[in-house]
């Protein structure tokens, strides 16, 4: 660690390191006390401030802030509190006959000093949800929230420092340079949520210290709608999640694949639902958020110009207002494959729509792409659903819904390969922040002694019997 003496965060890291075993050996009730404090802060003391910070950062509607930053984090805490006793108990496992005279068990031990790096789109939830699991598992934690969601990251510093000493949990504000300093330190685990390119940087830095990683990344999550689907219900669900947080959601529908014969009918439903949810002009709706900053506004504008230059067809043409960082709901069809909207993760309220006639066209297309974080299927026909699940790959899947799998803490949440490594939520997060330690205790001589050297012909016979029969 000597190469880190100039690192501005080295002394904080060392403080946590030297406190590591105090936290690791904290009792069940001490951990529950820490979780209760976090719950009270989110539910009561800081609830208004959380809503205010998210409104200032993203013009996030109150309901959306309450659902993701408050309700889902509290759910995560309650789930951990209900199950922690069981998770901390040693888990006995069976042994084969050759291990007679021993007993074996698994113990979930804390990894140690952990780093959580979070993105701007759900700046409170994606910093605090992993923290719940890290605390439950008995770790100390440094959180590096996104510099882009300024109000939320300032609030996180205040909230966390009001609850915990810095040698147990600390928040460090800062951008890329700060993250890069932190990534040089030999953490025991890094839990990163963000983009694919930065995920690769994190993994490369972690490799230097053989630090384990959880990577919660993004990608292009498709929605497949077949002829058997209930189109009105599909439109209602897709419009909701596509425009939740103004489309800046990792599991938002990135593009639609719909059967050619139902495209027009679906679009009619979709347009009606847009008006029902956000009125004729979404910029006047309190239910519709904004793009986080001008850089992202420009990025989305570039995608739209690219689509226009390639003669794509605007089924719904959203209005734009750069000053207000507003982009209205937009739906585009007839996009060529080399268009930016079909190549890049969109992360905004623009929805490309592609059509198919045979399901093979969908599965062949998706097989040629990276595995998405989520894949959604709208269909009533069970054969269609089974065929699509068997012939596609994704971190998670919603059938006749969008994104609800994220909210079930009994389901592991995360990607696969390019969309992520490792799983989050409930027990799965707890496991990410734990070393699954295996312990075997020998309490009597047992048959294994029969195989101690020297290897006589009798022992060769025993080895042969063992291989064949035991």
* Residues in contact with ligand NAD by the rule CB under 6 A: 117-122, 126, 144, 146-147, 175-176, 179-180, 193-195, 198, 201, 216-218, 250, 345, 347, 373, 420
Task: Tell whether omega for the bond before 282 is within 30 degrees of 0, i.e. cis.
Answer: no
Rg (CA), the chain: 26
114 has catalytic annotation = no
By C-beta, is 263 or 405 nearer to ligand NAD?
405
As given in the structure block, the two tokens for residue 350 are 């623009």
Smallest distance, Å, CB 118 to ligand NAD? 6
By C-beta, is 218 or 318 nearer to ligand NAD?
218
By C-beta, is 182 or 385 nearer to ligand NAD?
182
Q: Which residue among 216, 315, 345, 432 is the active-site one?
A: 216
The residue nearest ligand NAD at its CB is 218
3-state secondary structure of 161: helix
168 has catalytic annotation = no
Smallest distance, Å, CB 175 to ligand NAD? 5
Smallest distance, Å, CB 318 to ligand NAD? 21
Phi-psi region of 52 (alpha: psi -120 to 50; beta: other; left: phi over 0): alpha
Smallest distance, Å, CB 273 to ligand NAD? 24
The secondary structure of 410-455 as a DSSP string is: TS-B--SBTTEES-BSHHHHHHHTEEEEEEEEE-S--GGGGGPSS-
By C-beta, is 231 or 351 nearer to ligand NAD?
351
By C-beta, is 37 or 198 nearer to ligand NAD?
198
The DSSP bridge pattern shows strands 113-117 and 189-193 to be parallel
| Helices assigned H by DSSP within 279-437 | 294-309, 340-343, 359-367, 382-390, 426-432
Q: Which residue among 64, 114, 246, 250 is the active-site one?
A: 250
By C-beta, is 217 or 231 nearer to ligand NAD?
217
Smallest distance, Å, CB 349 to ligand NAD? 15
Cβ neighbour number for residue 63 with a 10 Å cutoff: 12
Burial of 92 (0-12, 13-18, 19+ CB in 10 A): exposed
Beta carbons within 8 Å of 94's beta carbon, 6+ residues apart:
104
CB 253 within 8 A of CB 218: no
Smallest distance, Å, CB 429 to ligand NAD? 11
By C-beta, is 138 or 372 nearer to ligand NAD?
372
Smallest distance, Å, CB 310 to ligand NAD? 24
What are the strands, taking DSSP E only, across 186-335?
189-193, 212-216, 222-225, 255-259, 313-316, 320-321, 326-327, 330-333
Calpha distance 461→106 (Å, rounded): 33
Looking at the annotation, which residues are catalytic?
A: 216, 250
């Amino acid at each position: 660690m000597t190469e880190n003496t100039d690192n501005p965060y080295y002394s904080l890291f060392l403080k946590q390191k030297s406190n590591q075993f105090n936290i690791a050996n904290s009792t069940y009730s001490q951990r529950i006390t820490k979780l209760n404090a976090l719950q009270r802060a989110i539910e009561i003391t800081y609830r208004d401030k959380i809503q205010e910070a998210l409104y200032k950062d993203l013009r996030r509607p109150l309901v959306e802030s309450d659902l993701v930053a408050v309700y889902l984090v509290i759910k995560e805490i309650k789930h951990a509190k209900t199950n922690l006793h069981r998770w901390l108990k040693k888990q006995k496992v069976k042994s084969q006959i050759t291990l007679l005279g021993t007993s074996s068990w698994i113990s979930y031990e804390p990894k140690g000093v952990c780093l959580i790096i979070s993105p701007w789109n759900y700046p409170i939830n994606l910093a605090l949800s992993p923290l719940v699991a890290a605390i439950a598992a008995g770790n100390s934690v440094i959180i590096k929230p996104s510099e882009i969601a300024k109000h939320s990251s300032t609030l996180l510093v205040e909230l966390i420092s009001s609850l915990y000493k810095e040698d147990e949990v600390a928040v460090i504000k800062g951008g890329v340079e700060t993250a890069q300093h932190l990534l040089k330190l030999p953490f025991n685990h890094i839990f990163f949520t963000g983009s694919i390119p930065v995920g690769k940087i994190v993994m490369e830095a972690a490799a230097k210290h053989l630090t384990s990683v959880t990577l919660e990344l993004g990608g292009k999550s498709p929605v497949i709608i077949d002829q058997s689907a209930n189109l009105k219900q599909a439109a209602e669900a897709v419009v909701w999640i596509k425009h939740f947080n103004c489309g800046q959601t990792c599991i938002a529908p990135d593009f639609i694949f719909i059967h050619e014969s139902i495209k027009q009918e679906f679009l009619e439903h979709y347009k009606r639902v847009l008006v029902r949810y956000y009125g004729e002009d979404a910029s006047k709706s309190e239910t519709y958020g904004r793009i986080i900053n001008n850089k992202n506004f420009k990025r989305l504008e570039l995608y739209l110009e690219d689509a226009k230059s390639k003669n794509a067809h605007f089924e719904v043409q959203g209005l734009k207002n750069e000053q207000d960082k507003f982009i209205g709901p937009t739906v585009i069809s007839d996009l060529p494959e080399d268009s930016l909207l079909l190549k890049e993760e969109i992360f905004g309220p623009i929805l490309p729509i592609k059509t198919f006639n045979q399901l093979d066209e969908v599965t062949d297309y998706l097989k040629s792409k990276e595995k998405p974080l989520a894949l959604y299927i709208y269909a009533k026909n069970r054969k269609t659903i089974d065929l699509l699940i068997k012939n596609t790959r994704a971190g998670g899947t919603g059938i006749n819904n969008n994104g609800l799998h994220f909210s079930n803490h009994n389901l592991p949440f995360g990607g696969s390969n390019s969309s992520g490594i490792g799983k989050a939520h409930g027990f799965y997060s707890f496991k990410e922040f734990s070393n699954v330690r295996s312990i075997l205790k020998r309490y009597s001589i047992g048959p294994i002694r029969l195989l101690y050297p020297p290897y006589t012909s009798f022992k060769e016979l025993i080895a042969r019997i063992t291989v064949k029969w035991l």
